[in-house]
């Protein structure tokens, strides 16, 4: 299969590089050395985590992404804004965080089947930022959400997934509709 891809890429005057390529194992035999993949005679390195389209895909029983990098990017952007916001009101800081930081946690969230641990990690990161903005503890967070109209990020993720699947179910593409109909 790799040779076919290389052949087709050659026709387009493109080259794949084994030194810039990585492979990852997903499934029951992810820990066993099942096969080796070569590209133009050079071996492709198998890794436990690789970056693809902004996500960090990790070796697991099924497709799984790491929330660690998402949270790191979120906190980097949030801390950058928060450190410079001493003269802003809380609603302004919250709006800045929603516009500039929250997308790091929501990127592609509608297409991932999140487990409760991943959702909890994302929610903890976002809730911690909201607590810092309003100078409250996690215990008072529901009150802050109530009065600010902000919703919990877990709710946002579930809502985005529902919207995405609804759009897919009404797509003009029969394959997309077929696949979307298989999800609850």
**Dist CA 113 CA 135 (whole Å):** 33
Phi-psi category of residue 95: left, alpha or beta, with phi > 0 → left and psi -120 to 50 → alpha: alpha
- Tell me the DSSP string of 108-153: TGGGS---HHHHHHHHHHHHHHHHHHHT--GGGHHHHHHHH----H
**Dist CA 39 CA 3 (whole Å):** 7
pLDDT at 1 exceeding the cut of 80: yes
Query: Distance between the two ends of the chain, CA-based, in angstroms?
Result: 34
Q: Max CA-CA distance within the chain? A: 62
Overall average pLDDT of the 162-180 stretch: 90
Q: Enumerate helices (H) and strands (E) in the chain, giving the number of each.
A: 8, 6
pLDDT per residue as tens digits for the range 56-111: 888 888 888 888 999 999 999 999 999 999 899 999 999 999 999 999 999 988 88
**Dist CA 89 CA 78 (whole Å):** 15
């Amino acid at each position: 299969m790799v040779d076919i891809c290389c052949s087709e890429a050659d026709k387009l005057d493109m080259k794949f590089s084994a030194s810039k390529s990585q492979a990852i194992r997903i499934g029951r035999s992810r820990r066993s050395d099942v096969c080796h993949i070569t590209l133009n005679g050079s071996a492709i390195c198998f890794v436990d985590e690789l970056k693809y389209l902004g996500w960090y895909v990790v070796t697991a029983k099924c497709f799984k992404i790491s929330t660690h990098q998402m949270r790191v990017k979120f906190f980097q952007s949030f801390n950058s804004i928060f450190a410079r916001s001493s003269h802003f009101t809380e609603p302004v800081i919250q709006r800045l965080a929603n516009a500039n930081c929250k997308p790091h946690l929501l990127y592609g969230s509608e297409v991932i089947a999140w487990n409760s641990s991943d959702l909890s990690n994302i929610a903890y990161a976002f809730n911690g930022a909201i607590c810092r903005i309003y100078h409250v503890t996690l215990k008072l967070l529901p009150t802050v959400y109530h009065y600010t109209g902000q919703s919990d990020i877990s709710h946002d993720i579930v809502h985005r997934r529902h919207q995405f699947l609804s759009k897919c179910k009404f797509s003009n593409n029969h394959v997309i509709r077929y696949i979307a109909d298989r999800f609850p």
